[in-house]
Structure 1
Amino acid sequence: MHAMATVEDCRAALLKLAERLAAKAAEAREKLDFDRSLACRVTDLGIAFHGQLKDGQLSGLTDGDDPRAKIKLTSSSDDLVELVNGQLNVMSAWTSGRIKIEAGMLDLLKLRKLL
């Protein structure tokens, strides 16, 4: 039995995700006009983080939820870490209900290019 991912694991995963988004955004900058607030809720730990996704880069990552965020990602701590580490496919995780993404349709399409 493995230990559940911790708050620090989740924070580190989101920072790693931010780096990956920045790298992909650099490739797609001309095609990507994307400025959205993002909230990530980690269900099993009862915690949340929020930040700003701008031009494909995640900045200002802070503890706490943002109920007004335009993009809301909800997952377990382990699924979040696996998703960021490339062990969990975002589309299959989303369609199977392992992760929940609440966003407008156009935002979902743009997000898909980044993830």
Structure 2
Amino acid sequence: MATIEECRAALGKLSDNMSGAGGDVRAAAALDRSVSCHLTDLDLTFAGRLTGGRIEVAGTHPGAPRERAQIRLALTGDDLVDLVGGRLDFATAWGSGRVRLEASLLDLFRLRKLL
């Protein structure tokens, strides 16, 4: 099982990857939205914002998200680490139910470029 520190590092790497991207990916990452990432196996939520092409984690707390973020992700810590590390395909994980992504329809269309 991935540790909290490994998951925080994975979110940091994802943020770095997004901020360094160009073209359509950079445009998709340019949203300004609240974000939550619930790690179901650790029962922990990272909460923050997607802003300026980066994910800024404001804090963590035990359990499910306390507030409804505009972009919500739920998955295991291992799946987060594997997704960011390129060992797990998002479409496959999402299609099989291993990853849940919830957002407005317009945001989902924009975010698909990141995935």
The structure-2 alpha-carbon separation of the partners of 1:43 and 1:30, relative to structure 1 and needing over 3 Å to count, comes to: closer
Q: How many percent of aligned residue pairs carry the same amino acid?
A: 44
* Residue segments in structure 2 that go unaligned for 5+ positions in a row: none
Q: Secondary structure at the match of 2:45?
A: strand
Match of 1:21 among 18, 25, 28: 18
Partner of 1:109: 109
- 1:52 matched to 2:45: no
The structure-2 alpha-carbon separation of the partners of 1:19 and 1:31, relative to structure 1 and needing over 3 Å to count, comes to: closer
| Structure 1 position 29, deviation (Å) | 7.9
- 1:6 matched to 2:37: no
The structure-2 alpha-carbon separation of the partners of 1:47 and 1:60, relative to structure 1 and needing over 3 Å to count, comes to: closer
Q: Deviations over 1:77-104 (max 9, x none)?
A: 1101001111111111111111000111
- Supply the distance in 2 between the matched residues of 1:7 and 1:100 (Cα, whole angstroms): 19
Q: Secondary structure at the match of 1:114?
A: coil
Partner of 1:80: 80
CA RMSD of aligned residues (A): 1.9
Aligned length: 111
* Residue segments in structure 1 that go unaligned for 5+ positions in a row: none
Q: Is the 8 A contact 1:39 1:66 kept in 2?
A: no
- Supply the distance in 1 between the matched residues of 2:12 and 2:31 (Cα, whole angstroms): 18
- Supply the distance in 2 between the matched residues of 1:109 and 1:90 (Cα, whole angstroms): 15
Q: Secondary structure at the match of 1:39?
A: strand
- Supply the distance in 2 between the matched residues of 1:78 and 1:68 (Cα, whole angstroms): 23
Q: TM-score, normalised by structure 2?
A: 0.85
Q: Which has the higher helix share?
A: 1
Q: Secondary structure at the match of 2:67?
A: coil
